[in-house]
């Protein structure tokens, strides 16, 4: 049986590479500046919620008029879903909806309108089957308590100060950075970078500014351009390379579990908000909630830092990296392993490898989801019918190979890159199909009956091979 793979080619043949890269820095805001940023984030939320209410009202009105037998030409005019149409509607009503609109930058309102336009487009494309992946629901209203404060600036004065410790944003003025922005400033001074936008966002109780920058990167070559390495991801070990190197799983969430449970119990004993009675949260509850949020943010930062260091090292060292297309969504349904799988960050690791191999002139090969890397013997190629998860040592009955299960899988992945050296362009998903989200539910397909041996009830053999039996039809 043949298996398809995804190949992400490198860019070693280019002199310069233009990429869009983000630079994220922590901010040290004064109380006055924090109130100004929160006001801008609140303005974005107001514009988003008002425009969404208008879209829903127009849709409901047109649906009701159709039930009355009104012709399509006489229905209430539609509300456009594009960003210019939403902005036009907001500008016509902002004096009545938000008399204070002049106190905030126009970019604040554009932030909320742009988020709604993208959400409506994603919902429409998902319903019609144009968008791949899981179905997308209809946009919802943003809550002041549950939504993350964020505002994005695309025009105006956006720059890094010469001291590299301050940045300037429209209407917010000069903001102090918690760390030096020398990496971004060097590229800006050299003329190899151009700032496209700046987003201020609160994450884990701290404010950050993220610059979306178009960067001209010099073409690089990996230290070992001809070496192929297979990377097998797992829970016991985060990554096992075909070279025998083992990257341990730090398990940041488990390490911080005791502190997280203590902080969660502390927050549960405080007087929290109650929407049914209109009760407001106490100050002690807000402090406990902030401490719990900072603890979770620390776990996320540690995980992100470890993944970046691992993927950067792999992309700079090896010319070809082979990984598996794991069904992470299906793996998370296992309630015994879901916590550890989510803590490992398999999807983030693959995402980082995808763009870092391009930056460093290598290539990334993604094996098919159904490729039996763990069941296949890396010595003789024999495939086992079954291999339990608790069997950590692979023993081949054909050639007698005894090897660690993860190392054996990594070697099979590395060998797979040789067979696809001349493959074509990148495929859309792990099985090589250009599949879109189906607009309807599952469609039942009748299977033709086939012959089977005595004592066998199925017609399809293991390992995904199709049956070669001749169907026997009733006379």
Annotated catalytic residues are 232, 324, 406
Please, is 311 exposed, middle or buried when counting C-beta atoms within 10 Å of its C-beta (0-12, 13-18, 19+)? buried
Report the 3 state secondary structure along 329-394: HHHCCCCCCHHHHHHHCHHHHHHHHHHHHHHCCCEEEEECCCCCCCCECCCCCCECCCCCCCCCEE
The whole-angstrom separation of Cα 384 and Cα 375 is 5
From residue 101, alpha-carbon distances to 97, 107, 178 in Å are 9, 11, 31
281 burial type by CB count under 10 A (0-12 exposed, 13-18 middle, 19+ buried): middle
Q: What is the largest CA-CA distance in the chain?
A: 88
pLDDT tens-digit profile, the chain (475 residues)? 445 555 555 544 456 788 999 999 999 999 999 999 999 999 999 999 999 999 999 999 999 999 998 888 888 999 999 999 999 999 999 999 999 999 999 999 999 999 999 999 999 999 999 998 889 999 999 998 889 999 999 998 999 999 999 999 999 999 999 999 999 999 999 999 999 999 999 998 899 999 999 999 888 899 999 999 999 999 999 999 999 899 999 999 999 999 999 999 999 999 999 988 989 999 999 999 999 999 999 999 999 999 999 999 999 999 999 999 888 888 899 888 999 999 999 999 999 999 999 999 999 999 988 888 889 998 888 888 888 888 888 888 888 889 888 999 999 999 988 776 544 333 333 344 444 445 444 444 444 444 334 444 333 344 434 334 333 333 3
Note whether 374 and 405 are within 8 A (CB). Answer: yes
233 close to 224: Cβ distance less than 8 angstroms: no
Looking at CATH, the fold of the domain delimited by 224-273+282-422 is given as: Nucleotidyltransferase; domain 5 (3.30.420)
Relative orientation angle of helices 83-97 and 31-67, to the nearest 10 degrees: 110
* CA distance linking residue 444 with residue 447, whole number of Å: 10
Distance CA 233, CA 80 (A): 45
pTM of the model: 0.80
Q: Where are the domains of the chain?
A: 24-191+201-209, 224-273+282-422
Sorted by sequence, the CB contacts under 8 Å of residue 33 that are 6+ apart come out as 172, 173, 175
């Amino acid at each position: 049986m043949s298996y398809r793979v995804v190949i992400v080619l490198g860019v070693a043949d280019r002199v310069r590479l233009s990429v869009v890269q983000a630079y994220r820095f922590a901010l040290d805001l004064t109380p006055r500046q924090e109130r100004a940023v929160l006001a801008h984030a609140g303005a974005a939320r107001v514009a988003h919620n008002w425009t969404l209410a208008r879209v829903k009202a127009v849709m409901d009105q047109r649906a009701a008029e159709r039930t009355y037998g009104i012709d399509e030409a006489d229905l209430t005019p539609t509300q456009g879903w594009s960003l210019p149409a939403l902005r036009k509607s907001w500008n016509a009503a902002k004096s009545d909806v938000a008399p204070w609109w002049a106190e905030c930058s126009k970019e604040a309102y554009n932030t909320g309108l742009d988020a709604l336009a993208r959400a409506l487009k994603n919902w429409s494309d998902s319903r019609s089957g144009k968008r791949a992946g899981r179905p997308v629901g209809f946009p919802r209203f943003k809550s002041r308590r549950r939504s993350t404060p964020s505002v994005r600036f695309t025009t105006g004065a956006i720059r890094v100060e010469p001291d590299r410790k301050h940045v300037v944003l429209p209407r917010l003025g000069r903001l102090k950075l918690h760390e030096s922005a020398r990496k971004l400033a060097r590229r800006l001074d050299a003329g190899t970078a151009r700032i496209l936008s700046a987003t201020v966002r609160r994450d884990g109780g701290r404010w950050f500014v993220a610059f979306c920058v178009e960067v001209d990167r010099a073409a690089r070559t990996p230290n070992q351009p001809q070496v192929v390495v297979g990377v097998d991801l797992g829970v016991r070990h985060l990554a096992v390379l075909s070279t025998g190197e083992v990257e341990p799983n730090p398990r940041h969430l488990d390490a911080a579990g005791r502190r997280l449970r203590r902080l969660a119990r502390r927050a549960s004993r405080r007087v929290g908000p109650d929407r049914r009675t209109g009760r407001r949260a106490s100050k002690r509850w807000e402090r406990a909630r902030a401490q719990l949020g900072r603890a979770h943010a620390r776990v996320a930062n540690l995980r992100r830092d470890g993944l970046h260091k691992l993927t950067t090292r792999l992309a700079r060292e090896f010319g070809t990296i082979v990984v598996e297309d794991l069904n992470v969504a299906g793996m998370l349904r296992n309630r015994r392993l879901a916590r550890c799988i989510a803590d490992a960050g398999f999807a983030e690791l693959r995402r980082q490898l995808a763009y870092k191999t391009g930056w460093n002139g290598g290539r990334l090969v993604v094996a098919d989801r159904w490729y039996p890397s763990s069941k296949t013997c890396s010595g003789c190629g024999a495939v086992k019918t079954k291999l339990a998860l608790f069997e950590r040592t692979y023993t081949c009955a054909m050639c007698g190979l005894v090897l660690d299960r993860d190392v054996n899988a990594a070697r099979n992945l590395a060998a797979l890159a040789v067979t696809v050296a001349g493959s074509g362009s990148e495929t859309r998903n792990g099985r090589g199909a250009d599949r879109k989200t189906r607009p309807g539910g599952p469609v039942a397909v009748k299977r033709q009956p086939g012959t089977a041996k005595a004592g066998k009830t199925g017609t399809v053999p293991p390992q995904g091979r199709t049956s070669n039996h001749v169907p026997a039809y009733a006379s």
